Amino acid sequence: MKRYLVIFFIIVTALIIWFATEELNDEQEQVEEEPLEQLQHEDESLEHIAAVWNFDEGTGTSTIEARSNQEHNIHYVFNEAADKPNSDPLWKQGISGHALLFDGYSTWVSADGSTLDIPKDTLTLEAWVAPRAFEWGNEGKLSSIISFHNKEENQGFHLGVFRHGSWSFQFGTGEEWLEVWADEEFRLPRNEWSHLVAVFSQERNEVVLYRNGEQAGHLEVPPHTQVALPDQELRIGKNNDPAKISDTFDASMFNGLIDEVKIYQKAVEPAFVQERFDQFFDGELPDPSAELAWDRSRYEGDRHRPQFHFTPPEHWMNEPHAPLYFNGQYHLFYQFNPAGPYWGGIHWGHAVSDDLIHWRDLPIALAPEADQVDPDGVWSGDSVIDDEGNPALFFTAGNDSMRPNQMTGLARSTFLDDQNHDLVNWIKHPEPVTIQEEEIQTEKGTVWHGQFRDPFVFKSGDKWVQLVGSGIRDGEESVGGTALVYTSDNLIDWHYEHPLMIGNVFNYPETGDVWELPVLLPIGENESGEEKYVFLINPWFDGDSEYAVKYVWYWIGSWDDETYQFIPDQEDPQLLDVGEHFTGPSGMVDDEGRAIVFSITQDRRTEESRYNAGWAHNAGLPIVLSLRDDHRLGVEPVQEVERLREEHLYALDTPSTIEDVNQQIADLRGDMLEIELEIERKEAQKVGIKVRQSPDQEEGTLLFYDFDEQMMNVDREHSSLSDNVEKGIQGGKVEFEGDLLRLRIFLDRSMVEAYINGVNSLTTRVYPSRDDSLYLEVFSEGESEVKKMDVWRMGSAY
C-alpha cells in the first residue's frame, strides 16, 4: 500500500511540475510577444509597422527595436569610459517615457537594415524630435534623423534636418534621387518638440510631409515609383554618408532629442497623422528645454578638464568675448560650436556670474539664422549698455552670399520689456550696421577688403566708437594689421573715420597681417594726471607663421576723444603673456573702474584627444590691467579668484632654504592649487618650482626664471609620458628690478598659469599621464632663499 502511495505522489508531483513549466513557457512567450501586442493595442493599424524604436530603456548602451525585438547598439563616445561615472548615452525624458539625447557628434543608433521588413512601394516614417542646434550643412548633406540610403546609387530613403531647421525626406528609385522639402513656415524650431511624418504612396503617386499634424510639404512622383532598398545599415542620428570635418570628426549628425521612431509598411492617412500627434498633444506640448540643457556631468572623472577656469558646458569654445556688467551680474559670451569639440558652426554661448569666478550656464544667446544678417556664423564682438539703459551686442555677422562676407551685426536685449535678469533673449537688427567699403585708402596702403571682424564698441564723449579688426596692403604685399575707427550717434548708423593704428609686419612680423579682436581700455592716470590706455590685438597671419595662435600684443598710449586717435607711447609691441597659449583678448571696464581682460587658452591637443574627451579649450582667468608707477603695464588676476580658496595647505612666513621647504612640502599634492612663492636669488642663476610632478620625478613640469637672461620659462619636456601631447620649452623676456622673484601660480588640471612680479604672465598646458603626478618641488640652480610660500586647495567655479 505504501508503495502505491509513493507512486501516486510521484505522479502528482510530476504533473504539477509539468503544468508549472508550461505556464512559465506561456508567460515567457507572452513577454516576448508583449512589445508587438502593446503596439497593436495602441492602434489596430500598427499591425502594418516595419520597425519601432520607443527609446524607453532609460539606461544602457543599446535600444530595442520592438517589432523584431532586436537589440541595436547606441554609439556614444563615453560608452567604454571606465573613469566616468555617467558613461551611458544621454537618456532623457521624452515625449512619452524616455528619449535619447544625441550629442551632435558621437551619438547614433545602428541597425541591420536587411533584418527589417521595409517595403518598396509604400512607406511612412514617423519621429518626434527636439533639435538643440542645427549644423551648417557641410557638403549639402542632411543631419540625419533616419538614414537608410546610398545616394550615389540612388537607393534607400533619408529623413533629416538641414540648415536653420529646414528639413527633408529624400529617396532613391535606383534611377533617380527625389527630394521633398518642408515649406519654410514649417522649419523646425530649436528647443521644441516637433512631430514629423513623411508618407510615400505609390498608389497616390505622392510624398507628403507633416509637422505637428499639418501638411508641411508635397511632391508628386511618377507612376509605379518604388524605393530601391540599399545594402546599408540603418542609422538613427547619423548620415550613412556623412560629410567629413576631418579624419576624426563626421558632420551630418542630429543634435537634440529623438523619440518614438516608427517605420510603417503603409501610406498612412492625414487623419491618422493628426491622431498620432494628438495622442501626445494635450493642449500644449511639453517643454524639453531642461532635457536639452548642456550637462557638465558628462565630464566627471576627466582629470585634464579645468574646474575653476571658465569652460564651455560641452563641446568646443574659442575666445570668450563681449563681457558685460549689468544689473549686478557679469555676463560673458563665447565662441561656441554646439555640434561637437571641433571648429565650426559658430554660435554665441552665454554664462553669468555674480563674482567673475563662479559661473552659471545660460542658453545660447545668438545662433546663425535664415533671413537674418548672420546665416553662416555669429563671430566675435562686444557688448555695451545703450543710451536707453538696454544691453546691446555687436557681433561679426557671417553671410557667404555677400562680398565681403563679414560685417557688423547688432542685437538688443529684451530686458526693458521682459525684465529678464539673465538677459537670455536678444533681438537682432534686421540689417548689418557696418559694412566694409571697397578701396579704403590710408597713408600706408589700401584696407584689405574682406578682412573685417571683431567689433569693439565704447562711448567716447557724446559719440559711440567702434573698432573693427582688419589689415593694410600695398598692392599684393601686406603692410600690417589695423583697427578701423567708426563713429555713431545711435549705434546703428556708423561713419568711417580712419585707422586707429597701422602695424608694420616687415619690422615686427610677429604682429601679423591682420589684427583681430582689437581692445582699447583705460588703465589709469600717470603722474601728470593724464589717462593712459592699453591697446591689445590678436595677430592673424596670411599663411603659415611661427607666431600664429601664440601671442597677444599691446601698446600703452593716449586716446584723443576729439580726433578718435590712439597715440602709442612706444613703437615696439609688447608681449602680454610669454607662454604661447594666451590668445583671443576681450575686455571691459567694470563697475569698479577696473580694466578686465578675458582670454582663450587653446588646449593644443590632437583631434582624436578632443573627440575622446568631448570638449576643447577653455578661458584663462580674468585679469586686471593697470598702469604701474614705473609706467609699465600691471598684470594680475582679479582679486575675486581668492574666493576659490578652500583649504590653506601650507604657509611659510620666515625665510628658509630650498631644502627645508621641499622637506616640508614633500607630502603636499594636488591638481587644483594656488601657489604664492617668493624666492630671493642670492647666487642662483635659475629659480622656480616644479609642478604636477610624480613621486619618482618621471613626470613633472618646471617653471623657472633665468636671472642672467631675464627670461621666464616653462620646461614641459617631462610633463607627460604620452607622445601625443605638446612638450618643449617655452618662455619670453620678463624684466623686473631686483633679485626677488614673485610668482603666483594657478594649477587647474591641465591649466598652468603663472603671474610674474605683476608685469607678465605665462600660460601653458600640461597633460600628465600618471594619476600621481600631483607633487610640488621648489627649484634652484645655485644658492637661493625662499622668502614666502603659501599653497591653497582650490574649489570649482561650477
SS3 string, 320-348, reads EEEEEEECCEEEEEEEEECCCCCCCCCEE
Residues 585 and 662 in one domain: no
Residues 143 and 192 in one domain: yes
Give Cα separations from 481 to 331, 488, 762 (angstroms): 29, 23, 25
Residues 59 and 73 in one domain: yes
Q: Is 430 helix (H, G, I), strand (E, B) or coil?
A: coil
For residue 490, with 0-12 CB atoms within 10 Å meaning exposed, 13-18 middle and 19 or more buried, which class applies? exposed
Among residues 618, 637, 656, which one ends one of the domains? 637
Q: What is the CATH number of the domain that holds 171?
A: 2.60.120.200
Among residues 568, 602, 637, which one ends one of the domains? 637
Residues 94 and 9 in one domain: no
CB 198 within 8 A of CB 182: no
C-alpha 617/C-alpha 604 separation (Å) is 8
Would you state the pLDDT for residue 26? 46
Closest CA to 789 of 664, 645, 635, 669: 664
CB 472 within 8 A of CB 479: yes
Q: Is 433 helix (H, G, I), strand (E, B) or coil?
A: coil
Q: Is residue 294 part of a domain?
A: no
Q: Which three cell numbers stand for residue 740?
A: 626677488
C-alpha 168/C-alpha 181 separation (Å) is 4
C-alpha 327/C-alpha 418 separation (Å) is 14
Q: What is the CATH number of the domain that holds 627?
A: 2.115.10.20
Q: Where are the alpha helices (DSSP H) in 567-720?
A: 607-613, 658-664
Q: Which domain holds residue 115?
A: 45-282
Q: How many domains does the chain have?
A: 4
Residues 6 and 54 in one domain: no
Neighbours of 481 (CB within 10 A): 31
Whether the upstream peptide bond of residue 189 has omega within 30° of 0, thus cis, is: no
Beta bridge partner(s), residue 645? 794
Residues 685 and 745 in one domain: yes
CB 672 within 8 A of CB 749: yes
Would you state the pLDDT for residue 84? 77
C-alpha 774/C-alpha 794 separation (Å) is 14
C-alpha 49/C-alpha 38 separation (Å) is 12
Give Cα separations from 417 to 84, 236, 364 (angstroms): 43, 41, 20
Classify each residue of 334-361 as buried b or exposed e, where b means 16 or more C-beta atoms within 10 Å of its C-beta: bbbbbbbbbbebbbbbbbbbeebbbbeb
C-alpha 465/C-alpha 86 separation (Å) is 48
Tell me the residue ranges of DSSP E strands in 265-401. Answer: 315-326, 329-337, 347-353, 359-366, 377-385, 391-398
Enumerate residue ranges in the chain where pLDDT < 70: 1-46
Would you state the pLDDT for residue 19? 45
C-alpha 741/C-alpha 705 separation (Å) is 8
Q: Which three cell numbers stand for residue 781?
A: 640652480
Q: Where are the alpha helices (DSSP H) in 46-137?
A: none
Would you state the pLDDT for residue 82? 73
C-alpha 104/C-alpha 367 separation (Å) is 16
Residues 32 and 50 in one domain: no
Residues 35 and 78 in one domain: no
Q: What is the CATH number of the domain that holds 690?
A: 2.60.120.560
Residues 747 and 612 in one domain: no
Q: What is the 3-state secondary structure (H, E, C) of 542-590?
A: CCCCCCCCCCCEEEEEEEECCCCEEEECCCCCEECECCCCEEEEEEEEC
Contacts of 762 (CB under 8 A, 6+ apart): 577, 578, 579, 703, 712, 713, 714, 730, 731, 732, 753, 754, 756
C-alpha 794/C-alpha 798 separation (Å) is 12
Contacts of 275 (CB under 8 A, 6+ apart): 43
C-alpha 207/C-alpha 523 separation (Å) is 65
Classify each residue of 770-797 as buried b or exposed e, where b means 16 or more C-beta atoms within 10 Å of its C-beta: eeebbbbbbbbeeebbbbbbbbbbbbeb
Would you state the pLDDT for residue 538? 98
Q: Is residue 290 part of a domain?
A: no
Residues 262 and 326 in one domain: no
Would you state the pLDDT for residue 46? 55
Q: Which three cell numbers stand for residue 93?
A: 525624458
Among residues 619, 637, 655, which one ends one of the domains? 637
Q: Is residue 98 part of a domain?
A: yes
Closest CA to 794 of 675, 703, 690: 675
C-alpha 517/C-alpha 537 separation (Å) is 6
Q: Is residue 258 part of a domain?
A: yes
C-alpha 554/C-alpha 501 separation (Å) is 12
C-alpha 39/C-alpha 540 separation (Å) is 59
Contacts of 321 (CB under 8 A, 6+ apart): 333, 334, 335, 380, 381, 382, 454, 517, 584, 586, 598
C-alpha 652/C-alpha 665 separation (Å) is 10
Residues 51 and 198 in one domain: yes
C-alpha 624/C-alpha 616 separation (Å) is 25
Q: What is the 3-state secondary structure (H, E, C) of 180-227?
A: EECCHHHCCCCCCCEEEEEEEECCCCEEEEEECCEEEEEEECCCCCCC
Q: Is residue 296 part of a domain?
A: no
CB 699 within 8 A of CB 720: yes
Q: How many Cα neighbours within 13 Å face the side chain of 778?
A: 31
Q: Is residue 256 part of a domain?
A: yes
In the sheet that holds 615-616, the strands lie side by side as 359-366, 347-353, 329-337, 315-326, 615-616
CB 690 within 8 A of CB 713: no
Q: Which three cell numbers stand for residue 395?
A: 557681433
Q: Is residue 367 part of a domain?
A: yes
pTM of the model: 0.93
Would you state the pLDDT for residue 157? 98
Q: Is residue 304 part of a domain?
A: no
Residues 560 and 427 in one domain: yes
Would you state the pLDDT for residue 4? 43
